[in-house]
Structure 1
């Protein structure tokens, strides 16, 4: 009868009457801090999001799995547990991503966070149960108290002088500063080259099938795309012109004739985002043979600046050669 009741007693001991092991509790708390740093407003825009997220990807899932697989202290040593925790995390997280790729949710932030949280919690619960199955004297525990005493003896021994204590404090601060600097260098990415993508696509949102032969008075459709890689949010100004270009045989160059603005609008683009907008235009004169797209970021010249000077002062410029035919009668 005692053997039949043992599973129930183990469950009660693991989840009701006993405190959660400190290392498992630390996993729960770190996971909760990660979720808050991702979804809590204001906080999710700080470095805390990365600081909390990196261990959840590289260490905690593997540690929870190791804790569930090896509940006894004699199963693995401390160094082996740490090493396997990193290794299994690096193996488990990509497998979870691969599995999500074949689900309707895909590899996106919310499914990844949910999957990692569910996996880690399940492993931690399994670790609590399996440790409860092991006799108390044989269970694995992280000796936080012993570690603290060892550090205290190392940095602040009782027989030391006041000067040695001060030097120990300075050394401890220097170590913490070095660790913090290393984390900062890893977490905070360096700014790369700043640039903006400016492109136009055909009616099928591909770099093909651009409108080339246009009937006067008929709408022609395309797409305008802007990719912001300037490391800040920018509100761009887009101007569209219909132009008449002619070839000067004396100078062997194209000369700008008429340049009529047909549209002008602003496009706010967040940092590291790309916006693609549908656009349609109508050419009323058969003398037009080019459509010009100008992009301005911070500085937009006044209307007095026209012609090639305006094109040269734009941040990006694109154009398409077109042929405008008379309307059918």
Structure 2
């Protein structure tokens, strides 16, 4: 066996293993990004095509090049789809391992089939060889123009795809806003209290806005009903609760691997001094803290413009959470 005849497959095998080491040792290097693009966009399709069509007469060089890119774009999502139904899931390590094994298996198969081929296709990259493969001297002017256009289209498509992958658009900007029970779980909320009895929840905020954000959190004790006749919300009682706060948080990336970790959490303890069925509303404002009108004599803001805050929360235009609490005498 002349290993020089398989330089292309051995190179792909070596570069696949080198990429594994780069991701392990220097995950932020530019070489990793360059190899990663080839690893995804070219290597799988190339070894697959070479294993399927080892004979020279079966495909010409241009067809092999185009199919290598096209099949790579098809193979990688299929491997990801298969991983989605395994315990490992679609994560960096399983995907990297699966594609490396795929490249190794089909590279070995391609070497075996190339050795058994009657007239194997062996890439020899020289200018004269390229002209011969393209039948450049015998081609008409129109054929030459079409060949150049096809090559330019392939190069442009690959370059554009590489740029899109290497310069991804920022993900959706959003904020996680949640409340948990006193045990740190979405359970055991203090929904049944006696007058004056303390209830505790955990307020959590996670910033995914791609910028530093100052958050203002308001808590309101609200009594409201829905009028079916007019299809409107009627606020009967609206009382500010103590403990309003603000916090500035840096943006953190969305973590799709490993365990989820909170960015900011705060225990909030409250008590309600009036019996009845109430709603405790938690309103979240970004970079602004709405001014309130002068406090009414009885402390009920339901007849003031402040009720618009609750109406906006009901309509979903203000990020908010609510907790239904029944208070016994």
TM-score by length of 2: 0.59
Tell me the number of residue pairs that the alignment of Structure 1 and Structure 2 aligns: 278
Distance in structure 1 (CA, Å) of the matches to 2:169 and 2:74: 28
Q: CA RMSD in A?
A: 5.1
Q: Is residue 117 from structure 1 mapped to residue 100 from structure 2 by the alignment? A: yes
Give the 3 Å change call, closer, same or farther, for CA 295–95 of structure 1 in structure 2: same
Partner of 2:120: 139
Q: Is the 8 A contact 2:282 2:320 kept in 1?
A: yes
Partner of 2:36: 53
How far residue 182 of structure 1 moved from its aligned partner, in angstroms, is: 3.4
Q: Is residue 270 from structure 1 mapped to residue 273 from structure 2 by the alignment? A: no
How far residue 128 of structure 1 moved from its aligned partner, in angstroms, is: 2.6
Q: Is residue 66 from structure 1 mapped to residue 49 from structure 2 by the alignment? A: yes
Distance in structure 2 (CA, Å) of the matches to 1:317 and 1:76: 61
How far residue 124 of structure 1 moved from its aligned partner, in angstroms, is: 1.4
Q: Is the 8 A contact 2:207 2:250 kept in 1?
A: no
TM-score by length of 1: 0.59
Structure 1 alignment gaps of length 5 or more: 1-12, 152-173
Give the 3 Å change call, closer, same or farther, for CA 93–147 of structure 1 in structure 2: farther
How far residue 117 of structure 1 moved from its aligned partner, in angstroms, is: 0.6
Residue deviations 1:115-148, cap 9 Å, x none? 101110222123233333447xx33122312368
How far residue 261 of structure 1 moved from its aligned partner, in angstroms, is: 0.4
Partner of 1:19: 4
Q: Secondary structure at the match of 1:260?
A: coil
Q: Is the 8 A contact 1:205 1:223 kept in 2?
A: no
Deviation larger for 179-188 or 110-119: 179-188
Q: Secondary structure at the match of 1:293?
A: strand
Aligned pairs for 1:22-101 (under 5 A) are 22-32=7-17, 34-35=19-20, 38-39=23-24, 40-43=26-29, 49=33, 51-101=34-84
Q: Secondary structure at the match of 2:271?
A: coil
Give the 3 Å change call, closer, same or farther, for CA 233–270 of structure 1 in structure 2: farther
Residue deviations 1:73-125, cap 9 Å, x none? 23332233234434543443344334323432122211011010111022212
The match for 1:213 among 176, 192, 208 is 192
Q: Secondary structure at the match of 2:193?
A: strand
